[in-house]
Homo-oligomer: A and B are copies of this chain.
Amino acid sequence: MKKSIEKKINPEDNENSSSLLRVILRGAGQVMFQNNAWTGLLFIVGIFWGACHAGTYAVGWGALLGLVVSTLTGYILGFPARDGEQGLWGFNGILVGCAFPTFVGNTTWMWVALILFSMMSTFVRAGFNNIMAKWKVNSFTFPFVFSTWIFLAAARAMHALPPDYMSHPSLPADFASGLSLHFTDLILYWLRGIAQVFLIDSWITGIIFLLALLVSSRWAALWAAIGSAFALLISILLGTSGHDVSQGLYSYSAVLTAIALATVFYKPGFLSALWALFGIAMTVFIQAAMNIFLEPYGMAALTGPFCVTTWLFLLPLVKIDNNEHPDHSNWYVENKRHLSRRKS
């Protein structure tokens, strides 16, 4: 009985809803709030494409390792299986796995740390959600952000973890905002903004990610596209670093804010679209601010701006679609309620 209900609200699961492979792949999908193994698979394809193209294969393997380790950690620690089967153990781990080889040299200790921190991301998430559920919000990708900030800062104090691909620590200073505004270039920046959710700097990966979202939810794909485009527009108008804009670094957080506010925690509609656009604009400011705060440490803001913005917009529990008591602590339930019927 219960199973049949599960199937109804979860149309992708036509076979073995909790096979380990599916669970792992869903972990990749949940980075963008999609409880869908195919989406997850396409995300991994996009990551490998970008990693191979840039010659940084370690990023691809790191992503896979982080995803598998963090998912298995959920089983080992005996966390509620329902969470895990929706891929909620793995999405922080895959991001840890993308980030570590992106910023730190390919040493043995980097891989050991990648395993330890991927494991940690799973139980840190349980702890953060334990905290945040009191206010009806979720920790999102913050376990990844928090763990990776620790790792990146620690790398500056550990010779075994060379911070080869991190920027140099410096005080905030002047910078160049100029960049090419040809239409084709804008398209590339826009697509890279979507790819950078997984720290990939490739416009082709951006296309693959959009397709991956389409498989699961047209609304999510649409708002990922809008989020990246609108953040691109605002960051250019405000005169942010041209280098960062061209690599999509002012858009990836906004992609996540857009999907979260416009499709997951509020029903797609006119008012929630306005709310999401406001959120996207604020993500650009918060991205800029967090970049500045981290400059003395030469560290990246990761998806922190998305987390902070989305918390700010969810914590007031503003009612848009007449839900009596908005509870934003469990995105899976919200997601299903808002999207299940639209898809079919």
Min C-beta distance of A224 to chain B, whole Å: 23
Min C-beta distance of A159 to chain B, whole Å: 3
Indicate whether A55 reaches chain B with its CB closer than 8 angstroms: no
Q: In the assembly, what is the distance between CA of A298 and CA of B293, in Å?
A: 11
User: Which of A181-189, A209-217, A311-319 sits within the interface?
Assistant: A311-319
Interface range on chain A: under 10, 10 to 19, 20 to 34, or 35 or more?
A: 35 or more
Report chain B residues within 8 Å CB of A79. Answer: 316
Contacts A157-B240, A278-B116, A296-B296 given; does A285 touch B151 at CB 8 Å: yes
One complex includes copies of this chain to the number of 3
From B130, B173, B296, give the contact of A171 (CB < 8 A).
B296
**A113, A296, A318 pick with most chain B CB within 10 angstroms:** A296
**A123, A150, A160, A318 pick with most chain B CB within 10 angstroms:** A150
Report chain B residues within 8 Å CB of A173. Answer: 169
Pick the 7 closest A-B CB pairs, nearest first. A127-B315, A159-B239, A153-B289, A126-B316, A154-B288, A157-B288, A169-B171
Seen from chain A, the residues whose Cβ lies within 8 Å of a Cβ on chain B are: 77-79, 109, 113, 116, 119-120, 123-124, 126-128, 130-131, 134-135, 149-154, 156-161, 169-173, 175, 177, 237-241, 278, 281-282, 285-286, 288-293, 296-298, 311-319
